Structure 1
Amino acid sequence: MKKILNLKRSLAVISLLLVTMSCDIDEVNREVQDTNLVYTSVVGYEGLINYAYNSLYYFYGKLDGIGAQELGTDLWWSESYLAPYTQYGSELTTTQGQNRVFWDGFYAAVNYSNLAIYYADKVTDYTEDQKKAKVAEAHFIRGWSYLQIVEQYGGVVLRTLPSSIDSEKENFPIRSSEEKIYELILSDLEFAAENLPVSQGTERGRASKKAALGMLAKAYLQRTRLGDEVTYATKALAVAKDLIDNQVAYGCALYTSDPTTSGYAKLWDGLNNKMNTEFLFLESIDPVLETLANPEGSNRGRTRQYYEMDLRHVGEDWGTTQSEDQWYGRANSRGLKPTKYLLTEIFTPEKDPADTRFENTFFTEYYNSRRSGSSFQNWTLTANVINKYVKDPALVGHVIKGTLGTYTEGQVHYGGKTNFYGFVRASQHSNMVDNDNDGWLDGLSIFTPNYAMTASEKYSLPFLIVTPDEMFEPNGKWVTATSLGGLGAYYKDCHPSLNKFSSIHWIFNNQRWMGDVPILRLGDVYLLAAEAVLRSGGSQTTAAEYINTLRKRAAITSRENEMIIAPGEVTLDFILAERARELAGEQVRWEDLKRFGKLNNAYLNVTNPDITGFVDGKHIIRPIPQTFLDAIGNADEFGTNGY
């Protein structure tokens, strides 16, 4: 399969063309003429388009996108990791690292898109239809990039020409209003929706018509926060409805439930990852060892390690290991933790809910993954561990069965190539038994449910149990090292871990995951449609139909009726909560809160009370990076966004 997002390959193509052509070019204006020759050739032009896609690889499934797009919201907290984003403290400045990368990366995507748009009419070997389809990709990427920029930074620089062509505005830029930036975003995405092909064939990761329609609906709806709500919501609904009503024609579909598996579970099943019918736009990852045609090669899919509970310190007391168990991920950063609001209000805190989205969003069970040679190792509980965690002394000497095995079941082979499957060491692949008949598997080491359990259960069961009662103070804040008589020192690092990007089929090692990462999903579009109905003055009944379709596919067929909500329950607040249930961890929450008018101190005090530094009117946008300010001639005039 042709790889479209291989930066190394694009670099090689453009560099080779420049070298081979420069010998025949007059010395005058050689650099400009070399560039013209490269970009006006089909090979060079397509390499340029590929460059424009490149930013995806550094923001989705990677830290620099997660910080800006998901953190500092109602869903996640960290006491130290990515603290500038989670806490709005003094470290959130014009010099903060991830913030600078975000700015630079998306403006790089804009510049490559501008180059492609500028040179489109100069490429002679395309038919008119081919040219429109190709340049539509550049318009899509530019619109998508500016949507991220304006939602993070507000009204900043609006560039529609390549930096090499418009150097004066590069050196002395002017601010554009958010409204003006949205004019370009919507124009770009409208052009893309009209001119992109329905399918890009085998080239996963390229934008097609369904991606443009979905992103256009999102952009129209996001624009409502600046005014003219009914107008833009009506447009968003029309586009979303077109996509939903014509899924077969556009090549997409929701997964449907059956008696044993929900459609939501199928959505995240690794066997469905590489040809996923719900992914409208995605970061395409090549998992084949012989090629690994991705920027940074195998260094992909790091999302899961950032959201992992502490399997290195607390976990090792109970038999888990982050080094041996490649499935859970490496918790080397004691990272991002769900809020009480997410665990107990967004999701229903009960043992067996009809809604399967919690269990398909989080790991809550952690098993003994000790290894002895090539096999598992049992783990015996000592008096030191029992006393440390104040468990029943009768548990001293209890054996937690080893469950580590080599993953072999359900392997997938990709691209007809030999790859790494069959070499994944993971817990839950040996000794998954309940020989003592206590209702729990004998290899369970740690359990972090989102529902309450009795004090007796937590005391006497032979594994560590950490429920919301141990995770959170009564005021909803995360426990600290001094909480609960000192037990908070252990409990503060124990929590459910995000598992959407941990399907065992695509594990590379305990940090890296080689599955495709969705940037826009069909499930999101259903929720956009429901929201657009309400914002455009439509009926709650119509909005409920969109939501109930999505909610029913989150349950097995025998429990679908438990998921149906009445029209009267459908409000904008309900939809915002539903978006968290459906999309938690998928890098959309920041823009959701902005659109719903919830990115303010009053709302965050209730839903994420650990956030104490949020300043209304300031923190609704991020600081403009110092590197940009230092590079322009009018930094004082331009401003820093108040930082």
Structure 2
Amino acid sequence: MRRLLTVFVFCISSFLFVSSCDLTEYNPGGITSETVYTTPEGFESLVNAAYSYSRWWYGKEEGWAAGEMGTDLWTSGAGDENPNFTRYESLQPNANVVGVFWEQFYSAINLCNAGINRIGESGMSEELQTTRLAELRFLRAFYYWHIVEMWGGVHFTTDETEGIQVNANKSSVETFYNQIFEDLDFAVNNLPVTTSDIGRVTKPAAEAFLARMYLTRGMDQEAFNMADKVINDYSFGLVENYDDLWEMDNLRNEEVIWVVNYSEDLALNDQEDDILFPEGHGRGGHNGHLHFFMTYDQVSGMDRDIENGRPFNRYMPTQFLLDLYQDDIDSRYDGSFKSVWYSNAPSEVEGMAEGDTAIYATKYEVSEEFREDAVYTIYDRSDIYESDGSIVQRTKYPSLDKFADPTRPSISEMRSSRDAFVIRLAEMYLIAAEAQFNRGNNTEAANYINVIRERAAKPGNEAAMRVTAADIDLDFILDERARELAGEQLRWFDLKRTGTLLERTREYNPEAGANIQDHHVLRPIPQSQIDAVQNKDEFTQNAGYQ
């Protein structure tokens, strides 16, 4: 099975005021703009490069900062480098990451626009042109969704931008979504049902993303119809055991609808690429294994090893997130979080042997008697959280381990070949359920949620995991999405979509909740962009930012 290798081999000037790159700096194939547009080989490199920009967000630290943090589910670990997103501390237009987001997404848009408008020059067969055009239009919709949700009605264009631009427009949110739907309709009608190139978008992937867009825009009947179609019309299926979804040898499973792929050859997951991973932020491949692990290697009985990961200790769960799971009946807690570390340095602790428990990090209170009898180190609820959910210490806690990679070649390796799951089948059930709830049909909403919950049930607990129409409300749906999708770079968008970002963050995340303001439902436009435009009366900063 082939994988879509998305090596960036050329540069096209991009909006807005981003320094252009020199083709001679990184041009291993001898590609120029003429050969990009007028040869099949060159145009394929353009399409691959358009995919590459998704790697900057999916599986990357900053993508988690903006897509998961600053919500009800996550707060700062001791190593957090993005408190402006995680805790809304000084989230202002000069925040570096905001500028890089802007540059990357608009570079991606410009590349898509260039390809869409020039594909007739490519020399490809008519059939292949149609497929690649559908891919580019899907990607443009995909990137514009990130832009419009992050910044609202900012600059919009379907034209290729060449050279330095000094004016920008403010377009309505509806303008963005009209184009998103138009592009996705084309993609749905022209993409193949399957592909052997891992990472390329397909018809069901476009339909699944379209279902997400319909839900975002309150088009509930359309969202339900499209999600239900993806569930029933293809060969996707829920993986029997939730924990198995995340195994490195099972990434090509039947539940995954679309991934941002990374190469098994880590040299191709280049962490030095100044275009895709500027200023060292990218760290090459998927690096979720770095950011969610606590510092287990600072505890007696444990040394850092490949199995337990390299702990950057960036992000930790809120007490609220951990409490959402009924872990006696719901396998998703154990399938998502690591609570026990087994000793690989037993000589450091008297009475400890290789493989014995060295650390137990639990969301529950542990009695003093239990603690005194244990050879291993315990971090219980009171060691981690105050009674109101604020943080006691930020280095030891149950750690999200969905993205662990014990196949890395060394303990210091930051790159992982893990693919980033962008859309999987479970989300379609949740979209169908939410759409039915919005339409007043709680019984059908419960039916779709129960498919997910029964898969998640520990053996013999299927009946206990089922819910009824009376259980369904918006809070339950959001709680269920948290249990199923925690860490999958959707939470900020979920809360914004449902109008609950402010309410739930304030209620369940004491740190972010103390700082979040009404205007944080949008991100600040980078100050560099505001400063650079000449039409400053038209292109103004988002409200609430200075």
Global fold match (TM > 0.5): yes
Which residue of the partner structure matches residue 254 of structure 1?
Answer: 238
Structure 1 Cα separation of the partners of residues 303 and 290 of structure 2: 14
Question: Contact 1:364–1:448 (CA<8 Å) still a contact in 2?
Answer: yes
Alpha-carbon deviations, 1:133-165, whole Å to 9, x = none?
Answer: 11010011111111111111111111211112x
* Deviates further, 453-462 or 145-154: 453-462
Structure 1 Cα separation of the partners of residues 426 and 138 of structure 2: 20
- What is the identity, as a one-letter code, of the residue corresponding to 1:255? V
Which residue of the partner structure matches residue 276 of structure 2?
Answer: none
Which residue of the partner structure matches residue 186 of structure 1?
Answer: 181
Within a 5 Å distance, the mapping from 1:353-502 to structure 2 comes to 353-370=328-345, 378-380=347-349, 398-403=350-355, 443-479=356-392, 491-502=393-404
Which residue of the partner structure matches residue 97 of structure 1?
Answer: 96
Question: Contact 1:368–1:379 (CA<8 Å) still a contact in 2?
Answer: no
**TM superposition shift of 1:300:** 1.6
**TM superposition shift of 1:15:** 4.7
Which residue of the partner structure matches residue 319 of structure 1?
Answer: 301
Question: Contact 2:138–2:184 (CA<8 Å) still a contact in 1?
Answer: yes
Structure 2 Cα separation of the partners of residues 304 and 107 of structure 1: 28
Structure 2 Cα separation of the partners of residues 56 and 508 of structure 1: 26
Structure 1 Cα separation of the partners of residues 308 and 535 of structure 2: 49
Structure 1 Cα separation of the partners of residues 461 and 518 of structure 2: 44
Which residue of the partner structure matches residue 640 of structure 1?
Answer: 541
Give secondary structure in 2 for the equivalent of 1:547.
helix
Structure 1 runs, 4 residues or longer, greater than 6 Å off: 10-14, 16-19
Which residue of the partner structure matches residue 536 of structure 1?
Answer: 439
Structure 1 Cα separation of the partners of residues 388 and 458 of structure 2: 35
Correspondence 1:239 to 2:226: yes
Question: Contact 1:68–1:99 (CA<8 Å) still a contact in 2?
Answer: no
**Residue of structure 2 aligned with 1:195, choices 187, 190, 203:** 190
Which residue of the partner structure matches residue 294 of structure 2?
Answer: 309
Structure 2 Cα separation of the partners of residues 453 and 215 of structure 1: 44
Structure 2 Cα separation of the partners of residues 579 and 603 of structure 1: 14
**Residue of structure 2 aligned with 1:604, choices 505, 508, 511:** 505
Question: Contact 1:111–1:163 (CA<8 Å) still a contact in 2?
Answer: yes
**Residue of structure 1 aligned with 2:490, choices 588, 595, 609:** 588
* C-alpha spacing 1:514/1:453, structure 2 compared with 1 (3 Å): same
Correspondence 1:278 to 2:255: yes
Question: Contact 2:309–2:405 (CA<8 Å) still a contact in 1?
Answer: no
**TM superposition shift of 1:340:** 0.8
**TM superposition shift of 1:357:** 0.4
- What is the identity, as a one-letter code, of the residue corresponding to 1:83? P
Which residue of the partner structure matches residue 125 of structure 2?
Answer: 126
Give secondary structure in 2 for the equivalent of 1:98.
helix
Within a 5 Å distance, the mapping from 1:492-641 to structure 2 comes to 492-505=394-407, 509-510=411-412, 511-537=414-440, 539-600=441-502, 602-641=503-542
**TM superposition shift of 1:526:** 0.9
Question: Contact 1:5–1:295 (CA<8 Å) still a contact in 2?
Answer: no
Which residue of the partner structure matches residue 265 of structure 2?
Answer: 288
TM-score, normalisation: structure 1: 0.76
Correspondence 1:328 to 2:327: no
Structure 2 Cα separation of the partners of residues 526 and 505 of structure 1: 32
Which residue of the partner structure matches residue 411 of structure 1?
Answer: none
Give secondary structure in 2 for the equivalent of 1:565.
coil
Alpha-carbon deviations, 1:588-612, whole Å to 9, x = none?
Answer: 0000000111111x43222101225
Alpha-carbon deviations, 1:302-357, whole Å to 9, x = none?
Answer: 112111112243x2xx22223xx11222224x32111010011x212x5xx12110
Correspondence 1:59 to 2:57: yes
**TM superposition shift of 1:379:** 2.2
* C-alpha spacing 1:557/1:347, structure 2 compared with 1 (3 Å): closer
- What is the identity, as a one-letter code, of the residue corresponding to 2:76? S
Correspondence 1:151 to 2:53: no
Structure 1 Cα separation of the partners of residues 128 and 137 of structure 2: 14
* C-alpha spacing 1:625/1:613, structure 2 compared with 1 (3 Å): farther
Structure 1 Cα separation of the partners of residues 536 and 410 of structure 2: 45
Which residue of the partner structure matches residue 114 of structure 1?
Answer: 113
Alpha-carbon deviations, 1:445-481, whole Å to 9, x = none?
Answer: 11012233323112321111112222111222111xx
* C-alpha spacing 1:172/1:196, structure 2 compared with 1 (3 Å): same
Question: Contact 2:506–2:514 (CA<8 Å) still a contact in 1?
Answer: no
* C-alpha spacing 1:299/1:38, structure 2 compared with 1 (3 Å): closer
Structure 1 Cα separation of the partners of residues 88 and 400 of structure 2: 23
TM-score, normalisation: structure 2: 0.89
Structure 2 Cα separation of the partners of residues 109 and 328 of structure 1: 35
- What is the identity, as a one-letter code, of the residue corresponding to 1:400? M
**TM superposition shift of 1:629:** 2.2
Question: Contact 2:77–2:316 (CA<8 Å) still a contact in 1?
Answer: no
Give secondary structure in 1 for the equivalent of 2:257.
strand
Structure 1 Cα separation of the partners of residues 62 and 419 of structure 2: 18
* Deviates further, 580-589 or 104-113: 104-113
**Residue of structure 2 aligned with 1:50, choices 40, 48, 63:** 48
**TM superposition shift of 1:282:** 0.7
Which residue of the partner structure matches residue 14 of structure 2?
Answer: none
Give secondary structure in 2 for the equivalent of 1:611.
helix
Question: Contact 2:9–2:27 (CA<8 Å) still a contact in 1?
Answer: no
Structure 2 Cα separation of the partners of residues 527 and 198 of structure 1: 22
Structure 1 Cα separation of the partners of residues 498 and 8 of structure 2: 41
Give secondary structure in 2 for the equivalent of 1:359.
helix
Give secondary structure in 2 for the equivalent of 1:500.
coil
- What is the identity, as a one-letter code, of the residue corresponding to 1:526? Y
Alpha-carbon deviations, 1:478-513, whole Å to 9, x = none?
Answer: 11xxxxxxxxxxx44210111101143466545332
Question: Contact 1:143–1:188 (CA<8 Å) still a contact in 2?
Answer: yes
Structure 2 Cα separation of the partners of residues 301 and 68 of structure 1: 16
Structure 1 Cα separation of the partners of residues 402 and 378 of structure 2: 23
Which residue of the partner structure matches residue 434 of structure 1?
Answer: none
Structure 1 Cα separation of the partners of residues 467 and 29 of structure 2: 60
